[in-house]
Amino acid sequence: MTPDEQRIAIAQACGWKGISFEYLTGYAPWRPTPYSERVMGDLDSIPIDPLPDYLNDLNAMHEAEKVLTWQHHLTFREQLWDLVITLGPEDTWGRQFISATAAQRAEAFLRTLNLWK
């Protein structure tokens, strides 16, 4: 998956609506008025927000991980472990696991939800 495809897939999983694939913008799930109500009115008045940079921002990935269920978290942990243990000597695996990058967490997130292509 390209980085843009990953950002879009994560945003959709987190509840973003009306995503523009060209501009990587959309209607954020934290907006007070549901998207379905906003599109019934003047389309020009719909606020557009840039998608979070999930692949480079650990805070954004932390927010994304909040949509995972308990069962998803178990799978997520396994997916993340499989991604980081291939990167170095065995005695550093634990440190690498807790220091996983945002991009590694994004891939594990997408694999957990079967969205990775």
Give per-residue pLDDT as tens, 36-85.
Answer: 888 887 777 788 999 999 999 999 999 999 999 999 999 999 999 888 87
pLDDT value of position 82? 87
Q: Is the pLDDT of residue 90 over 70?
A: no
Q: Across 2-117, where does the E strand assignment appear?
A: 17-20, 25-27, 49-50
pTM: 0.89
Confidence of residue 9 (pLDDT cuts 50, 70, 90): very high
Q: Hey, where are the domains in the chain?
A: 3-112
| DSSP code for 18 | E
pLDDT for residue 93: 64
Closest CA to 97 of 88, 82, 86, 84: 84
